[in-house]
Amino acid sequence: MKKRLNRSNFSVRTKRAPGIWLTLICCLTSFQVTSVVAASLDDKLTLTEAIKRSLEQNPSLKVFALRDVALQGQLETAQLNPAYELDIETENFAGTKSLSGLDSAELTVSLSSTIEMGGKREARSGFYSNRRLVLTAQKQVESLELLGEVTRRYIDVLAAQERVVLALEATELAKSTFAVVQKRSKAGSTPEAEVKRAKAAQSQSELTLLSEQQQLAYLKVALAALWGDTRPHFSAVSGDLFRFGKDVDFDILYAKLEKNPAIQVFVAEERLKDAEVRLAKTESSSDFSWSVGVRQFQESNDTAITAGFSMPLFSSSRNKGAVSSALASRNEVFFQREMALLNMHTQLFRAFSNRQQAIISVNKLQNEIVPALEQALKETRQAYERGRYSYLDYVTARQELLSARRSLIEAASAALTYGANIEQLTAEPLPASQYSMQSASQPNFKD
C-alpha cells in the first residue's frame, strides 16, 4: 500500500512576490534585497518584516544618529568667526617711591580679535560638511551589510525548517521500516537481530529530529537578535527554498559594483580629502591679529587710544609640509578604491560561480537523483518484503535517499545565500523576473 507522508507545518510552499524591497531609513540610498518570501500567514515571519525590524531596531545603525549630531555640532563651531577678547592690563602700581600705590598706575582696557585670511572659515565648514557625507555613506554600507546578514540568517532558518521536515519524514520512514521488519520477523523470515537494528535506527532518527529542532530554535534566536529580540516571536519563516531563476551575465553584475555604497564611501572620502587639502592650503595665508583700546594715566588723569596689529611671518613656507601630507593622503584614497574594486570582483566571481554550481546541483538532484532513489527505495522495499533483498539493501537504499534529500536542501540554501551575497555586492536585486518562474517542490518519500 502506498502512503504519502504529510509535510510538517514548517514546510511552506508559497509563491513569492517578485522583488520585495524596502526603502532605507534616514535618507539612505534606495536599494532592494532579493525576496525569498511570501505574504505573512498567521505568525510566520516574512523577509520584508525581518528587514523592517532590523533597520528600525538594530543598535549598529542607531549610533550613526549620535555621530551625526556630534558632526553637526562641530560644523556649527567651525562656521563661527574668530572670538573677541577683552584685555585689561595695569602697569606702574604697587612699586617703590614714586610708583608706590596707584598714583602712577596706567590702566589699559582693549578689545582684540583675529582676521582670518585665505578662506579658512569656509574651508573648515567644507571639511565638516564632507565628513557628514562620509558618515552618510558609511551608514549606507552598514545598512547594506545588515540587510545581507538578515537575508542570510533568514535563509538559514528556511533551510533548517526543511531539514526538520526531512527529519520528520525520516522518522516516519524508520517507523515504517521497523513495522515491516517486525512483520517479517513474526513470520519467521527475518532474524530477531534485524528487528533490534530497525528499532535502533528508529531511535537514531528520533535523535536526529530532536537535534534538527534544536538547531532551528537556535537559528530563529540568531535571526531575532538582529532587531534586538532575545526571544523570537514567530513560529516559522515563510518562503520557497527551491526557486532561483535564471543567471545574470557576470559582466553585467560587475558593471554594477561601483554602485555599492562601499565604493561610494571612497568617493565621499576623496571629497573629504580634497577639503583637507583646501584647509591645509588656507593655513599658508597669514592671519592678522588686531587690538584697540583705551589707556588711563592716573598720574595726569589723561586718557589715550591704543591700537595694534600683528601677523606671523613666512607662514607659506612653514606650511608646505602639511599641504604635501594632505595631497598624499588624498591620492592614497584612489588606490584604496582600486584595491577595493579588485577584492569585490573576486568576491563577486566566487559568489557567481558558486551560485551557478549550487543551482546545477539542485536541478540534478531534483530532476534525476532524488526521483531515481525514490523509485529505488520503493522497489527495494517491495523486494525486501518478498524476501529477495536483504535488510542491508533496504537500509542502504533508505540512507541514500535521505542523504540526497539533505544534499538538495544544502544546495538550495547555498544558491539562495550566494544570491544574497551577489545582491549585497551589487547593491541591487537580481532580476525580478526570476520569481515568476515555477519550480518543482522538494519531493516527498513514497512508501
Q: At 270, which CATH number? A: 1.20.1600.10
Low-confidence ranges of the chain (pLDDT < 50): 1-42, 432-447
Instruction: Please indicate, yes or no, if residue 328 is contained in any of the structural domains.
Output: yes
DSSP H or E run through 302:
strand 302-310
Instruction: Please indicate, yes or no, if residue 22 is contained in any of the structural domains.
Output: no
Alpha carbon 311 to its chain centroid, in Å, reads 52
Which string of DSSP letters, residue by residue, matches 224-277?
HGGGT-SS---SEE---TT-------HHHHHHTGGGSHHHHHHHHHHHHHHHHH
pLDDT of residue 2: 36
User: At residue 204, what is the residue type?
Assistant: Q
* Prediction pTM value: 0.72
The residues facing 295 across adjacent strands are 108, 304
Between the two ends of the chain, the Cα-to-Cα distance in Å is: 8
Tell me, yes or no, whether 249 and 273 share the same domain.
Answer: yes
Last residue of a domain, which of 267, 298, 318? 318
* CA count, 13 A, side-chain hemisphere, 414: 19
DSSP H or E run through 382:
helix 370-385
pLDDT of residue 152: 92
- Its domain, for residue 298, covers 82-115+287-318
pLDDT of residue 362: 94
d(CA 268, CA 137): 7
Q: pLDDT tens across 177-186, in order?
A: 889 888 888 8
DSSP H or E run through 342:
helix 320-364
pLDDT of residue 137: 82
Tell me, yes or no, whether 99 and 209 share the same domain.
Answer: no
pLDDT of residue 318: 65
pLDDT of residue 319: 66
Instruction: Please indicate, yes or no, if residue 24 is contained in any of the structural domains.
Output: no
Tell me, yes or no, whether 228 and 102 share the same domain.
Answer: no
pLDDT of residue 93: 65
Domains held by the chain: number = 2
Q: What is the CA radius of gyration of the chain?
A: 37
The Cβ of residue 61 has, within 10 Å, a number of other Cβ atoms equal to 19
Tell me, yes or no, whether 67 and 138 share the same domain.
Answer: yes
pLDDT of residue 317: 65
